[in-house]
Structure 1
């Protein structure tokens, strides 16, 4: 039986790593304990490894970076945490080869999450490491589903104590490993999710028939914004991907485009200026740059 510390540091580290799936030592440090020296985070991870809760692989192509992940035992322990209620273990499992082969994409997603967490800290907003939830399953019927790279919860604070709003976003991180057309197809999949109404099963007792509604309304008061984070390409590649997203947006229904902000930005700009900066390009405009947290962004 692992001895998770009562102070909560081990517990938080295990919960964050379980949810984010793969992270480097530095990412874990900045996520969970930025106020202490990184050696303390390194010792904590080594302690969790000794207890069989986490493991690591070394990535030669990334300067021998160590990428951490939870073991099957660690996933079982984390699954009992209240803060991870409803959490589903990663499809990676504890397979070291699968972790190594998928580390490039997953670590980029984790880096994107870290950008939002750090930006919120600077702004006085609320976006904790566990407010970034990778791979949330959204059914489309017939066995199909939309699974975003992450679902983001973000509390934007205002001038007064009661002046705040909760923002939600589906985040897709594109590393230019697929063509622009496949990226644009993701936008069309989200429109399908926006419209998807599951077929009722049977007839309720008493004969009352409930009005059918879209599946997403069971989870969200508003359909989350769509944020496409573009990496792995130069400015020309970014423009090609933006063009593909704009083409898909022009073919989408007017109500979907009107109700759901769809924004795209290079990861390099997010890391340099912060996600709340006006670095996002709406798919409905060519020259406009906006902040994703601004009311005008939706």
Structure 2
């Protein structure tokens, strides 16, 4: 049996298999989540380590092998010193091909390029990662099941027949997250639509996107041959993917200052008002679970804190109090509430 020498070039699958397990996990995360900072990879892959030096050595090895690339994250303003910004990592074309050949993953046509990594979409992608990391962090604390690969970014769902623009025929979730609540041996599987709002669209446009999820709930694809329709072909499209319609969680990014907190509270109030008067959402209020919180609250208290403001319920005079991510209707049964979150070291 032949062996590889130090001077013999490795094929891409062989390269991936020869790296440490940590490096391979980093490749898989970057393949699924597209862009991640060093700190985000550290919190997901080496949360118990004092620092990220070992992880950074692994990333440097991957970079030398031509499998990953890095660039400085964009600052909050054009005047920010780029050298003070953290590194953002993404796979090269060679790295994406290597993951597809060496790991059991669903192949994705999307490829990150240096131009797309440095685009204005970068901050949004990294913020969506922060939502996923908050779920993973608190799931670890609570003994629930939510892994670094439990969310998938930018999942498109068809909401009407036809051949219009892709954006008109689909609602694109910022991510779909899978979470397993564990209590006394009982496992409750939850699917969640995640919408991360950085106030880059108007509240009216955000309300329209919530309404698009109502369209998704009702959408039944038309079979091209009416005579061959079956019971399965008359079911809503989402039932072919999800056992129950996922809860929709809207995460407002920010609330780091009293002024910003007030703006986000006003945005929540406006969204509550706009969704209440939407005819489709009013008709489906009993079937849809929609909640709003901030990224800061999600990080600090976790998804089982009373941090979500339910939409589509009550009247302005009779508002339902904040609840956890289960968004249970009053009187509804559900998994037992986990203990409150402990303060997390920053």
TM-score, length of structure 2 as denominator length: 0.78
Residues in 2 aligned to 1:146 and 1:239: alpha-carbon distance in whole angstroms: 25
- Alignment of 1:235 with 2:235, yes or no, is no
In structure 1, what is the equivalent of residue 105 of structure 2?
84
- Alignment of 1:57 with 2:65, yes or no, is no
- Compared CA separation, residues 5 and 43, structure 1 to 2 (3 A): farther
Residues in 2 aligned to 1:65 and 1:192: alpha-carbon distance in whole angstroms: 40
- Contact 1:53/1:71, CA 8 A, preserved across alignment: yes
- Compared CA separation, residues 132 and 81, structure 1 to 2 (3 A): farther
In structure 2, what is the equivalent of residue 96 of structure 1?
114
- Contact 1:188/1:248, CA 8 A, preserved across alignment: no
- Alignment of 1:209 with 2:229, yes or no, is yes
Residues in 2 aligned to 1:19 and 1:51: alpha-carbon distance in whole angstroms: 20
1:131 to 127, 130, 150: 150
Residues in 2 aligned to 1:80 and 1:198: alpha-carbon distance in whole angstroms: 34
In structure 2, what is the equivalent of residue 262 of structure 1?
290
Residues in 1 aligned to 2:225 and 2:228: alpha-carbon distance in whole angstroms: 11
- Contact 1:25/1:42, CA 8 A, preserved across alignment: yes
- Alignment of 1:43 with 2:64, yes or no, is no
In structure 2, what is the equivalent of residue 198 of structure 1?
221
- Contact 1:17/1:23, CA 8 A, preserved across alignment: yes
Unaligned segments of structure 2, at least 5 residues: 1-10, 77-83, 335-346
Q: Which has the higher helix share?
A: 1
Q: CA deviation at 1:49?
A: 1.2
Q: CA deviation at 1:30?
A: 1.0
In structure 2, what is the equivalent of residue 249 of structure 1?
275
Residues in 2 aligned to 1:280 and 1:71: alpha-carbon distance in whole angstroms: 38
- Runs in 1 of length 4+ with deviation above 3 angstroms? 80-83, 252-255, 293-298
- Compared CA separation, residues 47 and 20, structure 1 to 2 (3 A): same
What SS does structure 2 have at the residue aligned with 1:128?
coil
Residues in 1 aligned to 2:270 and 2:92: alpha-carbon distance in whole angstroms: 39
- Compared CA separation, residues 256 and 76, structure 1 to 2 (3 A): farther
What SS does structure 2 have at the residue aligned with 1:17?
helix
Residues in 2 aligned to 1:210 and 1:248: alpha-carbon distance in whole angstroms: 38
1:110 to 110, 121, 129: 129
- Alignment of 1:222 with 2:244, yes or no, is yes
What SS does structure 1 have at the residue aligned with 2:94?
helix
In structure 2, what is the equivalent of residue 156 of structure 1?
181
Residues in 2 aligned to 1:104 and 1:253: alpha-carbon distance in whole angstroms: 30
Residues in 2 aligned to 1:60 and 1:255: alpha-carbon distance in whole angstroms: 43
Residues in 2 aligned to 1:11 and 1:256: alpha-carbon distance in whole angstroms: 44
